[in-house]
């Protein structure tokens, strides 16, 4: 009870931004963020189940409401992938669908107030729980690194090991500028997954802080109950646009990077 009495806005926000971690091995150098992992897996299973429900009763005639809705979403993603990617791989559309809908569901966890998840879990003995996986840089880096390895796979499949190595050393300034070409290409390839991860993480983490600030200020009476509700509603409406937009941007940039990895200078 003494800890509860000393709770301040700063400690409240820090508490909700703290991940539930589990050290692996000796020391704390390598830790697992259990809340990020569990929520990400649950969101992935949820989208698989939702799509399975649409296909389970799929008909060639007049589709049901859920089937029609899923078909519209899938056609939208498929059209974006086809318009952006100009290669021959058939993996791009499934990759785009997986990225978009998985990130969308993880981002949508932001719409649930933090205390609605954290407080019941505290009663069960879970001290911390960060509800939005994409507000954890480890999650966004994990996805962007996966895209990076897909870029390498697409480049090697398209150009071969010799062709990829030759282009890496000779483009864009020619063979006499190999050291500069190597440095430039290393920076270019590394910057892509880092910028991809940081863009999504920055938007989601910043939005999470603002939500918590509005919640704290409303609870402390600085905004008042009505003011806190109005500001919170306004910020949530704004994030109704931001949440799918960030998923869309991550998906589109991933497709662009996969397409560029197959292109030659």
- Residue 199 appears among annotated catalytic residues: yes
Instruction: Choose the catalytic residue: 79, 82, 191, 195.
Output: 195
Whether residue 246 is predicted with pLDDT greater than 90 in this model: the reply is yes
- Residue 195 appears among annotated catalytic residues: yes
Query: How many domains does the structure of the chain reveal?
Result: 1
Residue 11 lies in a domain: no
Residue 109 lies in a domain: yes
What pTM was estimated for this model as a whole? Answer: 0.87
For residues 12 and 212, is the Cβ–Cβ distance under 8 A?
yes
For residues 82 and 222, is the Cβ–Cβ distance under 8 A?
no
pLDDT digits (tens, 9 = 90+) for 98-154: 999 999 999 998 888 777 888 888 888 888 888 899 999 999 999 999 999 999 999
Residue 46 lies in a domain: yes
- Residue with token string 């649409």: 54
Residue 18 lies in a domain: no
Q: Which domain holds residue 99?
A: 32-128+136-154+196-257
Partner residues linked to 21 by β-bridges: 33
Residue 148 lies in a domain: yes
Give pLDDT, residue 5: 46
3-class state of residue 22 by DSSP:
strand
pLDDT digits (tens, 9 = 90+) for 34-85: 999 999 999 999 999 998 888 887 777 777 888 888 889 899 999 999 899 9
Give pLDDT, residue 223: 53
- Residue 19 appears among annotated catalytic residues: no
| Residues 8-14: contacts with CB under 8 Å, at least 24 apart | 9/213, 9/216, 9/217, 9/220, 12/212, 12/216, 13/209, 13/212, 13/213, 13/216
Locate the DSSP E strands across the chain: 21-23, 31-33
Residue 204 lies in a domain: yes
Q: What is the dihedral of CA 233, 47, 209, 19, to 10 degrees?
A: 140
Query: Is the backbone of residue 252 left (phi > 0), alpha (psi -120 to 50) or beta?
Result: alpha
pLDDT digits (tens, 9 = 90+) for 185-240: 899 999 999 999 999 999 999 888 877 777 776 655 555 555 555 666 666 677 78
| Residues 34-38: contacts with CB under 8 Å, at least 24 apart | 35/128, 35/129, 35/130, 35/131, 35/133, 36/130, 36/133, 36/136, 36/138, 36/139
Residue 228 lies in a domain: yes
What share of the chain has pLDDT > 70, as a percent?
A: 87
Partner residues linked to 22 by β-bridges: 32
Q: What's the angle, vertex CA 134, arms to CA 130 and CA 135, rounded to 5? A: 55
Q: How many CA atoms lie within 13 A of 104 on its CB side?
A: 17
1: pLDDT confidence band, cut at 50, 70 and 90? very low
What share of the chain has pLDDT > 90, as a percent?
A: 36
Rounded CA separation 106/43 (Å): 6
252 or 22, higher pLDDT: 252
Residue 178 lies in a domain: no
Instruction: Choose the catalytic residue: 138, 146, 158, 199.
Output: 199
2: pLDDT confidence band, cut at 50, 70 and 90? very low
Instruction: Choose the catalytic residue: 203, 254, 259, 261.
Output: 203
Give pLDDT, residue 123: 87
Tokens of 220: 């402390």
pLDDT digits (tens, 9 = 90+) for 141-191: 999 999 999 999 999 998 888 988 888 888 777 777 888 888 998 999 999
Of 246, 257, 7, the C-alpha closest to 154 is 257
Residues 2-34, buried b or exposed e (16+ Cβ, 10 A)? eeeeeeeeeebbebbbebbeeeeeeeeeeeebb
Give pLDDT, residue 144: 95
Rounded CA separation 184/6 (Å): 52
Rounded CA separation 141/158 (Å): 25
């Amino acid at each position: 009870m003494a800890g509860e009495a000393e709770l301040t806005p700063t400690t409240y926000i820090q508490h909700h931004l703290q991940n539930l971690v589990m050290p692996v091995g000796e020391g704390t150098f390598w830790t697992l963020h259990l809340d990020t992992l569990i929520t990400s897996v649950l969101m992935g299973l949820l989208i698989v189940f939702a799509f399975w429900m649409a296909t389970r009763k799929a008909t060639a005639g007049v589709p049901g409401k859920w089937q029609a809705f899923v078909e519209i979403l899938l056609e939208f993603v498929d059209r974006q992938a086809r318009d952006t990617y100009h290669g021959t791989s058939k993996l791009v559309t499934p990759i785009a669908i997986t990225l978009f809908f998985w990130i969308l569901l993880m981002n949508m966890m932001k719409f649930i107030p933090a205390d609605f998840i954290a407080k019941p879990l505290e009663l069960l003995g879970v001290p911390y729980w960060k509800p939005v996986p994409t507000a954890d840089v480890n999650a966004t880096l994990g996805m962007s690194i996966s895209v990076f390895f897909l870029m390498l796979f697409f480049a090697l499949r398209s150009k071969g090991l010799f062709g990829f190595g030759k282009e890496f050393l000779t483009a864009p300034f020619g063979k006499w500028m190999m050291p500069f070409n190597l440095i430039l290409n290393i920076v270019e390839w590394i910057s892509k997954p880092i910028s991809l991860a940081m863009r999504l993480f920055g938007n989601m983490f910043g939005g999470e802080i603002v939500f918590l600030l509005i919640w704290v200020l409303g609870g402390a009476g600085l905004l008042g109950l009505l003011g806190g509700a109005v500001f919170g509603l306004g910020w949530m409406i704004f994030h109704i646009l931001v949440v799918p937009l960030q998923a869309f941007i991550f998906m589109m940039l991933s497709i662009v990077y996969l397409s560029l990895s197959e292109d030659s200078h």
